[in-house]
Amino acid sequence: MNVHDYEKLWIGLSMVLIVLFIGSITYGSVVAGVVMIDDAADPVDPDALGDHPDFGDPGVTQTGEDTYEVHVVAFHPGFNPDVIEVPANSTVTFHVTSMDVIHSFSIVGTNANSMVIPGEVSSMTVELGAPNRYGIVCNEYCGEFHHLMEGELVVVPEDEFELEADE
Amino acid sequence: MSTYVEQFPAEARLVRSAMYTAFVALGLGAAFGLLQVLHRTNVLRVIDSTDYYTILTLHGVLLVLTFTIFFLVAIFTWAITTSLDRPLPDHRFSWTWYGLMTGGTVLAAIPIVGGLIDQIDMSAAVLFTFYAPLQAHWLFYVGLALFVVGTWLAGVDWIRTYLAWRREHPDERIPLPTFMVLTTMGFWYLSSVGVALSVLVFLLPWSLGIFEHVNALLTRTMFWYFGHAVVYFWLMPTYLLWYLLLPKVAGGKLFSDPLARIVFVLFLLLSTPTGIHHQYLDPGIAEGFKYVAMTNTMFLLLPSLLTAFTVVASIEHGARQRGGTGRLRWLGALPWRDPVFTGMALAGVMFAAAGFSGIVNAGLNVNYLVHNTFWVVGHFHLTVGTAVALTFMAASYWFLPQVTGKPLWGRPLALGQVLLWFLGMTFMSNAMHRGGLAGIPRRTAEPQYNFSFEPAIGSVAELDAQVVLGGTLLFLSTVLFLTVVLGTLRGGVDPTRIPANTYAAALSEAEDGPRILDNLRLWVLIAVVLVILAYAFPIAAIVDRSGWLGPGGSPYPQVVWVVEYLVVALALR
Ligand code: HEM
Ligand SMILES: [Cu+2]
Ligand SMILES: [Cu+2]
Could you report the predicted ipTM of this complex, rounded to two decimals?
Answer: 0.89
d(CA B129, CA B227): 8
SS3 B212: coil
**Dihedral Cα B117, B119, B123, B127, nearest 10 deg:** 10
DSSP state of A1: -
Q: Whole-model pTM? A: 0.92
Indicate whether A83 pLDDT > 90: yes
Determine, for residues A34 and B514 on separate chains, whether the beta-carbon distance falls below 8 Å.
no
Measured in Å, residue B23 CA sits from the centre of ligand 3 at 25
Counting ligands in written order, the one closest to the CA of A149 is 2
Residues of A in contact with B281 (CB under 8 A): 37, 104, 113-115, 122
Q: Which pLDDT does position B527 carry in this prediction?
A: 94
Instruction: Locate all alpha helices (DSSP H) within B438-558, ordered by sequence.
Output: 460-490, 520-546
Instruction: Tell me the CA end-to-end span of chain A in Å, nearest whole number.
Output: 72
Tell me which ligand sits closest to the C-alpha of residue B38. 1
Residues of B in contact with A4 (CB under 8 A): 255-256, 313, 508
- Counting atoms of ligand 1 from 1, which one is nearest the CA of B37? 10
Give the residue, out of B50, B131, B381, B478, with the most ligand 1 atoms within 8 A of its beta carbon, to mutate for a pocket test. Answer: B381
Contact across the interface for A119 and B550, Cβ inside 8 Å: yes
Starting from the CA of residue B380, give the closest ligand. 1
The percent of chain B in helix, strand and coil, each rounded to the nearest 5, is: 75, 0, 25
Q: Do A15 and B281 touch (CB under 8 A)?
A: no
Q: Which of A106, A100, A94, A112 is nearest to B443 (CA)?
A: A106
573 residues of chain B, pLDDT tens digit each: 699 999 999 999 999 999 999 999 999 999 999 999 999 998 999 898 989 999 999 999 999 999 999 999 999 999 999 999 999 999 999 999 999 999 999 999 999 998 888 888 888 889 988 988 899 999 999 999 999 999 999 999 999 999 999 999 999 999 999 999 999 999 999 999 999 999 999 999 999 988 888 898 999 999 999 988 999 999 999 999 999 999 999 999 998 999 999 999 999 999 888 888 888 788 888 888 888 888 888 888 889 889 988 889 999 999 999 998 888 899 999 999 999 999 999 999 999 888 877 776 666 556 667 778 898 899 999 999 999 999 999 999 999 999 999 999 999 999 999 999 999 999 999 999 999 888 888 898 887 777 777 777 778 889 999 999 999 999 999 999 999 999 999 999 998 999 999 999 898 888 888 899 999 999 999 999 999 888 888 888 888 887 788 775 444 444 444 444 445 555 544
Look up residue B500 and give its DSSP letter. Answer: -
Mutate to test the pocket of ligand 1, among B59, B393, B475 (most ligand atoms within 8 A of CB): B59
Phi-psi domain of A89 (left: phi exceeds 0; alpha: psi -120 through 50; beta: other): left
Query: What spacing in Å lies between the alpha carbon of B20 and ligand 1's midpoint?
Result: 20
Distance CA B241, CA B68 (A): 14
* pLDDT surpasses 80 at A19: yes
The model's pLDDT over A69-82, given as tens digits with 9 standing for 90+, comes to: 999 999 999 999 99
Helices (H), B41-133: 52-60, 68-84, 91-114
Minimal CA separation from B283 to chain A, in Å: 5
Specify the amino acid at residue B245.
L
pLDDT at A5: 82
Chain B residues in contact with A24 by the CB 8 A cut-off are 363
Which residues in chain B have their CB less than 8 angstroms from residue A2's CB? Answer: 508, 512
Query: Is there a contact between B229 and B527 (Cβ–Cβ < 8 Å)?
Result: no
Q: How far apart are CA B140 and CA B145, in angstroms?
A: 9
Q: Report angle CA B78, B223, A45 to the nearest 5 degrees.
A: 170
Cβ separation A106–B439 shorter than 8 A: yes
Is the CB of residue B216 less than 8 Å away from at least one CB of chain A?
A: yes
Angstrom distances, CA of residue A3 to CA of B179, B288, B383, B511: 20, 36, 29, 13
**CA distances to A19, B277, B292, B366 from A15, in Å:** 6, 20, 17, 21
User: How far lies B369's CA from each of B182, B364, B373, in Å?
Assistant: 38, 10, 8
- Using CB atoms, which residue from B259, B294, B442 is nearest to A7? B259
In this structure, the residue with its CA closest to atom 14 of ligand 1 is B443
Q: Beta A67-75 vs A59-62: how paired, if at all?
A: antiparallel
Which residues surround ligand 1 with Cβ inside 6 Å? B 30, 33-34, 36-37, 40, 56, 59-60, 63-64, 67-68, 127-128, 377, 380-381, 384-385, 389, 442-444, 471, 474-475, 478
Domains of chain B with bracketed CATH: 4-572 (1.20.210.10)
Nearest by CB to B565, from A77, A117, A139: name it.
A77
Angle, helix B68-84 to helix B9-40, in steps of 10 degrees: 160
User: Hey, whose CA ends up nearest to atom 25 of ligand 1?
Assistant: B385
Q: Cβ of A7 and B359 within 8 Å?
A: no
Q: Is the dihedral of CA B183, B184, B189, B190 positive or negative?
A: positive
Q: Which residues fall within 8 angstroms of residue A67, CB to CB, at 6 or more apart?
A: A90, A91, A92, A93
* pLDDT number for residue B364: 55
> B205-222 in b/e burial notation, b at 16+ Cβ within 10 A?
ebbeeebebbbbbbbbbb
CA of B52 to the centre of ligand 2 (A): 13
Count CB atoms within 10 A of the CB of residue B498: 22
Using CA atoms, how far apart are residues B510 and B169, in angstroms rounded to an integer? 15
For a mutational test of ligand 1's pocket, the pick from B67, B377, B446, i.e. the residue with the most ligand atoms closer than 8 A to its C-beta, is B377
What residues in A contact B368, CB-CB < 8 Å? Answer: 111, 113
Of A100, A139, A141, the CB nearest to B553: A100
Question: Counting one residue from A and one from B, how many pairs have CB atoms under 8 Å apart?
Answer: 228
How many helices (H) and strands (E) chain B has is answered by 21, 2
> So what's the pLDDT on residue B458?
76
DSSP B161-200: HHHHHHHH-TTSPPPHHHHHHHHHHHHHHHHHHHHHHIII
Amino acid at B203: L
pLDDT of the residue at A10:
87
Residues of A in contact with B313 (CB under 8 A): 4, 6-7
Crossing angle of helices B389-404 and B9-40, in 10° steps, is 150
Question: Under the phi-then-psi rule, with left for phi > 0, alpha for psi from -120 to 50, and beta for the rest, what region is A33?
Answer: left
How far apart are the C-alpha atoms of B324 and B319, rounded to whole Å?
5
What is chain B's Cα-based Rg?
Answer: 24
How many angstroms away from the CA of A101 is the closest CA of chain B?
5
Residue of the CA atom closest to atom 20 of ligand 1: B60
Longest dimension (CA), chain A: 77
- What DSSP character marks residue B383? I
